[in-house]
Chains A and B, each alone.
Chain A
């Protein structure tokens, strides 16, 4: 099967190069035969890569431990679920996954692009071919998933226990789908630049793709937070780790783009900025892959251990120089059609939102790269950690949150004073009221109070928008409230879906603010002994160690401690927390023991219990008890964001261009459908 796999990779490489060349020539010379050939090359490349994926999975499922990748990431006793996901557990498999998904997206773009945008497709094929060819090259020359060992081990090393978690099965592909789908908007941007067809049409062609990749990245980020929380056992979900930051960066710039693109559609402004954001987001997504895959940040030295780092660095530089050169040459074609008329306008608030988002992205990038930069400049490595990121990003984040409420209320072009009063009276009152109530209830953390007050303000703006829209429809069409609301959202998916996303973001911010009140304690307890901790809500929890049990489960030996929880003296259930020692098929230990925190979650607070270790041979054990307020809302906030995103991109909403030309027609169809 590895022969087939290798063959498939070579075929994919040739097809990728062919698509790159022929697509470009076909586009620039306007030759239909070459354009067709590029299109077919993308489809064929996709087929070849799917065969390669099939070959890897075949080797994984047949436990062909002579294949290095199979031996390195799986073992005979690994559950099937994880055997399948081993495709993207290691570097080599991830590269194949990347290339394959890109070719699938590339094919979808060829198949499902509206006819009026088809002028861009040959160039899109060319870009997709180039990027895929790069990934296949890395595989063939530096990290081949099909390379064989000189001998055949009896069993593989198995999968890192921390990856043996359902979150890890879905989190990497979601994140990768986000990274990878960013290539399609980038390809359209390059196509628009190369073909000089720079009217707003190309924007319409890529809007859905940007949303797709934004949505996947959002899901990937939330799943990653969830995995870190339930699996790593340190009691939090976000540590400003370079790998986390790498995923956050393109998300931030894409969020900026999704806002500023509206200004270009409505007013023909910001063309240069938008193109730069698309190109920048894509470069950041490649950099994200590079950072997660090369280990360059953790140590400059680990960089040289694998040649893959050099390939990526070279490709990143090449792509950045090539795309920005093309961009610079087209700048004269990208002049704005309108000017900013007032500081108090929707445009201005979107511009500030963009500056803040890019500012946050820049500070995160700077903080992430700072160890390398300081080592290069000063010779001594200086690192910055979570305190830096929090110190910089909490104020910026709160300013952004406030704009989330302000932006949608301000009129386009120029807002009048009565307009502002009408829009802001209620929400500002709601925000101030929220802050005051929490202050009276005893909340004393400045940023947390501010976050909650701003959150109250934004939620009030969203509610006001929904209420006014619904009321207007009820008056105009006499619809009952529920129907009016459904129609309101259905007819303006972008706007109201966007409000739903904003609601999710508010919920997330409130949940983040809850972490300001995290409390924890560590204790060594014999069975029967207990430790207590006071929660931020004023309850006293006591945790009683009931005893240790040991048993075998799947591919691991489990040591579990059972804790009885009491709140203010009243029994509140049992929680178990485990230490797991994974073993191979012969029962020998593999990897280090891993921790399985015991978590009890409710909307107010999470109890997060970790078994630190057992004192030799006895039932005396070390525990860490943590109370994490409002974590529950992180997952639901994330869910709301994703739902909002789905509302925005649900098919049938129609692009603004379609709406403009076919508005009358669409209305008639709706009437007839009744």
Chain B
């Protein structure tokens, strides 16, 4: 085998493993990113969407935020106009969280209709334009 052919084998090996790592990575860690409206439509046709880890992007419904600092529990409702879901979250919410922001909620919708969030990301709508973050 010439050096060129050997190199081609090595290159294929690298390209192949990059491809494999990417494909398996997406399969194992990819999460649906839905709006509440999309989620309610999916749930209606396919109940297996309960208990699946996903991200839901929506705005917080004004006046629905209740915060118990002592137990670190945060309850609020999110909506995109088409559907509304209650969310419950344990932990420290981000600085920018309040009842008028866009949020991305990471968690699972349980059959009781509540999204149990493991993470809440907030985007401050009015003044936080895509600021270079890193």
Contacts and interface: CB of A to CB of B under 8 A. Distances in A.
* Binding partners A and B: yes
Interface of A: 72, 89-91, 157, 160, 162-163, 171-172, 175, 221, 224-225, 227-228, 233-234, 238-239, 241, 243-244, 247, 292-295, 298-299, 302, 339-343, 348, 351-352, 355-356, 359-360, 362-363, 366-367, 370-371, 380-385, 387-389, 391-392, 395-396, 522, 524, 591-595, 610, 612-616, 620, 622, 624
Nearest to B24: A391
Closest 9 CB pairs of A and B: A244-B134, A224-B134, A359-B18, A381-B33, A295-B130, A612-B92, A387-B29, A392-B21, A388-B25
B129 interface: yes
B132 A292 contact: yes
Nearest to B38: A380
Interface string B54-74: 010100000000000111100
B72 A339 contact: no
B133 A366 contact: no
B15 interface: yes
B21 A396 contact: yes
B12 to A, nearest CB: 10
B29 A384 contact: yes
A298 B130 contact: yes
A524 B70 CA distance: 6
Nearest to A414: B3
B28 interface: yes
Given A221-B134, A348-B10, 8 more contacts: A233-B95, A292-B130, A340-B7, A363-B21, A381-B32, A382-B33, A392-B22, A522-B72
B18 A396 contact: yes
Contacts of B128: 160
B22 A614 contact: no
Interface in B57-114: 57, 69-72, 91-92, 94-98
Contacts of B91: 522
A359 B14 contact: yes
A620 B26 CA distance: 43
B30 interface: yes
A227 B133 CA distance: 9
Interface string B1-41: 00110110011001101100110111011111110001000
B92 A624 contact: yes
30 contacts: A160-B131, A171-B132, A224-B133, A227-B134, A233-B95, A239-B134, A241-B133, A244-B134, A247-B134, A292-B130, A299-B57, A340-B7, A343-B6, A348-B7, A352-B14, A356-B14, A367-B22, A380-B32, A380-B34, A380-B38, A383-B33, A389-B25, A391-B28, A395-B17, A592-B96, A592-B98, A594-B95, A612-B72, A613-B92, A622-B69
Given A341-B3, A388-B25, A293 B130 contact: yes
Nearest to A375: B33
A175 B31 contact: no
A299 B24 CA distance: 25
A20 B52 CA distance: 55
Contacts of A615: 69-70
Contacts of B34: 380-381
Contacts of A613: 69, 92
B45 to A, nearest CB: 13
* Central interface residue in A239, A340, A389, A594, by most chain B CB within 10 Å: A340
A616 B26 contact: no
Given A91-B129, A613-B92, A339 B22 contact: no
Contacts of A360: 18
Contact of A362 (B3, B18, B97, B123): B18
B15 to A, nearest CB: 7
Contact of A351 (B7, B17, B72, B131): B7
Nearest to B1: A343
Contact of B4 (A72, A225, A339, A620): A339
Contacts of B55: 383
Contact of B132 (A243, A367, A395, A592): A243
Contacts of A341: 3
B33 to A, nearest CB: 4
A90 B129 contact: yes
B57 to A, nearest CB: 7
Contacts of B33: 371, 380-383
B70 to A, nearest CB: 5
Contact of A391 (B17, B25, B132): B25
A355 to B, nearest CB: 5
Contact of A370 (B3, B4, B26): B26
Contact of A388 (B14, B29, B71): B29
A591 B92 contact: no
A243 B130 CA distance: 9
Given A381-B34, A612-B92, A614-B69, A228 B133 contact: yes
Contacts of B21: 363, 391-392, 395-396
B28 A340 contact: no
B92 A622 contact: yes
A295 B91 CA distance: 27
A388 B96 CA distance: 26
